[in-house]
Amino acid sequence: MQNAEQNSISTPIRLTNSEELDLERFKLSRTSQPISVLSGALVVDELINGMQKLGVKGDKMPTNADLLIMYKSIMEEYPNIKVGELSLAFDLAAKGKLDIDAETYQNFSMIYLHRILRAFARYGMQKLNDIKPVVESKWNPRFVTDDEKIETAFDCYKKFRIWDAIVFGVDVFHILHKQGRIIVDAENTYDKVIRSMNDRMFDGSRQDKIDIKNKMKDDDYMENQCYRMAVADYFDKLIK
């Protein structure tokens, strides 16, 4: 009887196949890039994909303004979350594997978003206890070709039409300029950037106005904004 008790105590808890798969997916999600180094468009796209997993579609999908607010909120509250973790949080919620009611009733809000992320944080703490102390694998990015950058940037802009959130925007400008495929009227492009930023400053909050004014004083930032605007103008011609 004593031996049986000793064997029972020394036997480690075995995970089911489903739990082992979830653990592996959790570990893999932690090796992805932080959302803080990604473009806003990619993060918003991940939010949209997540909402679709939860059944939010069509006219029930939050507006672009709501999505932007959600994006800013995540950046403020969870700046270190990885893009893989964000995707996994929605996937687990859709499968009922988080400790919340995943029913959205076709009404996805800021409150529901943070409810999911808090539940995922609790889930993550539990999973960390199951992970043996091993050296965390480093993210080893695959080299992205120029053509892939152009294609990704074009798809991003065509979907969201946000000129200053184009993925690889600055890189794509230099690629296209080097290939002689993009000709820039510097003065006109700069004027368009200024007008766009002034419009946002007019519509934004007091803090938005302060942030935009400070950015307009940064020559390097404004130069990159002009590159992005030039790329957007180039893509607009292709879309037409």
Nearest to 100 by CA among 77, 84, 82, 123: 123
Structure-token pair, residue 238: 């292709």
Q: What is the mean pLDDT of residues 218-233?
A: 93
Q: What is the mean pLDDT of residues 210-218?
A: 88
d(CA 235, CA 240): 9
Q: What is the pLDDT of residue 142?
A: 62
When pLDDT is cut at 50, 70 and 90, the band that residue 9 belongs to is very low
pLDDT digits (tens, 9 = 90+) for 105-145: 666 777 888 888 888 888 888 877 766 554 555 655 567 78
Q: What is the pLDDT of residue 105?
A: 63
Q: Rounded to an integer, what is the distance from CA 222 to the centroid of its chain?
A: 23
Buried b (16+ CB within 10 A) or exposed e, 173-195: bebbbeeeebebeeeebbebbee
- HEC states along 158-227? HHHCCHHHCCCHHHHHHHHHHCCCCCCCHHHHHHHHHHHHHHHHHHCCHHHHHHHHHHHCCHHHHHHHHH
Structure-token pair, residue 228: 């992005």
- Classify residue 80 by its DSSP letter: T
Helix, strand or coil, per DSSP, at residue 99: coil
d(CA 75, CA 42): 13
Please say if the pLDDT value at position 189 is more than 70. Answer: yes
Q: Rounded to an integer, what is the distance from CA 8 to the centroid of its chain?
A: 45
pLDDT digits (tens, 9 = 90+) for 45-78: 888 888 888 888 888 888 888 888 888 888 888 8
Positive or negative, the Cα torsion across 121, 123, 125, 130? negative
d(CA 137, CA 7): 34
Whether the pTM exceeds 0.95: the reply is: no
The alpha carbons of the chain give a radius of gyration, in whole angstroms, of 23
Q: What is the pLDDT of residue 133?
A: 55
d(CA 87, CA 29): 8
When pLDDT is cut at 50, 70 and 90, the band that residue 216 belongs to is very high
Q: What is the mean pLDDT of residues 96-103?
A: 81
On the CB side of 8, how many CA atoms lie within 13 Å of its CA? 5
d(CA 226, CA 117): 36
Between residues 15 and 86, the one the model is more confident about: 86
When pLDDT is cut at 50, 70 and 90, the band that residue 156 belongs to is confident
Please say if the pLDDT value at position 240 is more than 90. Answer: no
Q: What is the pLDDT of residue 14?
A: 52
d(CA 98, CA 90): 9
